[in-house]
Amino acid sequence: MSASRRFHSRRVPGDKGVFALMSEAKAAAAAAGKQVVDLSVGTPDLAPPPEAIEALRASVDDLTTYKYCLRDGTMPLLEAATEWFASRYGVRLDPATQALSLIGSQEGLAHLLMAVADPGEGVLMLPIGYACYLPAITIAGLRPRFLPLPDDGSFLPDFDAVPASLAAGCRALLLNYPNNPTSAVADGAFWRRALEFARRHDLLLINDNPYCCQVYSEDALAASALAQPGALERTVELFSMAKSYQLGGCRLGFALGNADAIAALEAVKAPVDFNQWLGIQRMGIACLKLPQSRLVEYAQIFRARAAALTAALRAHAGWEAPMPRACMYLFAPLPPGFSDDARFCLELLGQTGVALSPGSAFGPAGAGHVRFALVRDEGVLAEAARAIGRFLASPEAARLRGRGGSEGGANGGPAADVAAAAGVSG
């Protein structure tokens, strides 16, 4: 072991995440004089609800908010969260035992994995998902097992096609619908099949659900795994203020579900942190009390952006990208002739300043795709599509096509770093 790795657990990934590496590439593009249009990170650009900001503002002057916040102090948030769930899904939960406040769904998931499984056990997961899943699983000492996906573009597993041997030794089934990066949406029937599968193999069903209110439907609301009959026996859903309410930086989320799993999660979190500042919790309560119509407005903005971007890519770049059904992403196969998504993203960024996420950063099923985060307005997205069109017509793109888009990745350099990080993180 080298000296620099002496104080580094084998469970902790040694490589930088792909987003850190893309940040370096963005900085290099900016230093080279490119105006960077960053569509690589799913950080909301819209204003949060004024009610949320008002709750924060009022809390700043309330000197009672600055103490440590123990479990009791989180009860108003947990009551609001369970009220919210009951009003949306018709299922009443006990805020004292079936709910827990989180710093965010990301923090909640990392700790939940430590809380509900023992080192060496497996976690069944999609071969495409949020880049933090694999590091979180590894740090918890668990083993990822990828569910096969049918070749129908749905990004929904067919549980009947999963061999029983894959589930042997697994403790949890980790899913995420509406899905980052694919925007796939699961309906109630899918969740009932997932539950049945979880029951058959004695798994905890975890749905990481920060995009539950970003479906491009009339009510913007996704089906809930936890709202299905019998789900409470083995399901936890993780919710977040980040995406629905444009509050990614003002960290807050909550877990709802099976009381044993919630108690285990609370026990893991207890020595790690106290709860979020009361002002942030009051911000969350203000959000949870908003009518669903406000979330529909946000979701429709992302739908309009997705429609504008797919149209502009077709018109200016001849690139056919499927229209998403949810979330704040457009996930597209690379244009014909390209195969290395990491090299494509780095070349595109270097030539045009447009930053996308390589699909392989999200797991093996993401290879050959890119993800656009819809975090700029329609005019900026259309301009990015024009720049992509110019790039696709350039000699640099022709060279990349000629190589099958893979030479840089194979020979090293930043593309190889990005691809390597993609292997680690997704």
Ligand X SMILES: Cc1ncc(COP(=O)(O)O)c(C=O)c1O
Q: Pick from 292, 294, 299, 310: which is nearest to 381 by CA?
A: 310
Near ligand X by CB under 6 A, which window of 61-69, 85-93, 103-111, 381-389? 103-111
Which amino acid, residue 135? P
**Nearest residue relative to ligand X (C-beta):** 104
| Residues 104-133 as x/- pattern, contact with ligand X by CB under 6 A | xxx-----------------------x---
| Residue 367 Cβ vs ligand X, minimum distance, rounded to whole Å | 19
Whether residue 39 contacts residue 354, with contact meaning beta carbons closer than 8 Å, is answered with yes
Residue 319 as a binder of ligand X (CB under 6 A): the answer is no
Q: Residue 271, Cβ neighbours under 10 Å: how many?
A: 6
Which of 29, 242, 280, 287 is the binder for ligand X (CB under 6 A)?
A: 242
CA distances from 173 to 116, 235, 326 (A): 12, 9, 22
Interface of this chain with ligand X, residues 152 to 211, rule: CB under 6 A = 176, 180, 208, 210
Residue 240 as a binder of ligand X (CB under 6 A): the answer is yes
Q: Where on the phi/psi map is residue 273: left (φ > 0), alpha (ψ -120 to 50), or beta?
A: beta
Near ligand X by CB under 6 A, which window of 119-127, 199-207, 240-248, 301-309? 240-248
Q: Where are the alpha helices (DSSP H) in 121-277?
A: 133-139, 164-167, 188-200, 259-269
| Residue 44 Cβ vs ligand X, minimum distance, rounded to whole Å | 10
Give the interface size with ligand X as a residue count (CB under 6 A). Answer: 13
| Residues 206-235 as x/- pattern, contact with ligand X by CB under 6 A | --x-x-------------------------
Near ligand X by CB under 6 A, which window of 98-106, 221-229, 267-275, 417-425? 98-106
Interface of this chain with ligand X, residues 39 to 58, rule: CB under 6 A = 42
| Residue 406 Cβ vs ligand X, minimum distance, rounded to whole Å | 28
**In terms of CB distance, is 275 or 352 closer to ligand X?**
275
Which amino acid, residue 251? R
Which of 122, 253, 405, 414 is the binder for ligand X (CB under 6 A)?
A: 253
| Residue 242 Cβ vs ligand X, minimum distance, rounded to whole Å | 3
The burial class, CB within 10 Å (0-12 / 13-18 / 19+), for 240 is buried
What is d(CA 51, CA 401) in angstroms, rounded to the nearest whole number? Answer: 50
What is d(CA 126, CA 144) in angstroms, rounded to the nearest whole number? Answer: 9
Near ligand X by CB under 6 A, which window of 83-91, 102-110, 296-304, 386-394? 102-110
What is d(CA 75, CA 51) in angstroms, rounded to the nearest whole number? Answer: 20
The burial class, CB within 10 Å (0-12 / 13-18 / 19+), for 120 is exposed
Residue 360 as a binder of ligand X (CB under 6 A): the answer is no
Interacting residues of 337 by C-beta distance below 8 A, sequence separation 6+:
401, 405
| Residue 32 Cβ vs ligand X, minimum distance, rounded to whole Å | 28
Q: Where are the alpha helices (DSSP H) in 61-209?
A: 75-89, 105-116, 133-139, 164-167, 188-200
Residue 248 as a binder of ligand X (CB under 6 A): the answer is yes
Whether residue 11 contacts residue 411, with contact meaning beta carbons closer than 8 Å, is answered with no
What is d(CA 167, CA 231) in angstroms, rounded to the nearest whole number? Answer: 19
| Residue 416 Cβ vs ligand X, minimum distance, rounded to whole Å | 25
What is d(CA 93, CA 81) in angstroms, rounded to the nearest whole number? Answer: 9
Near ligand X by CB under 6 A, which window of 101-109, 220-228, 352-360, 387-395? 101-109
Which amino acid, residue 315? A
**In terms of CB distance, is 181 or 414 closer to ligand X?**
181
**In terms of CB distance, is 214 or 352 closer to ligand X?**
214
| Residue 166 Cβ vs ligand X, minimum distance, rounded to whole Å | 22
| Residue 265 Cβ vs ligand X, minimum distance, rounded to whole Å | 14
**In terms of CB distance, is 128 or 195 closer to ligand X?**
128
| Residue 376 Cβ vs ligand X, minimum distance, rounded to whole Å | 16
| Residue 125 Cβ vs ligand X, minimum distance, rounded to whole Å | 12
**In terms of CB distance, is 415 or 422 closer to ligand X?**
422
Q: Are strands 329-333 and 369-373 parallel, antiparallel or unpaired?
A: antiparallel
As beta bridge partners, residue 145 has: 124
State the residues that interact with ligand X by CB under 6 A.
42, 104-106, 130, 176, 180, 208, 210, 240, 242, 248, 253
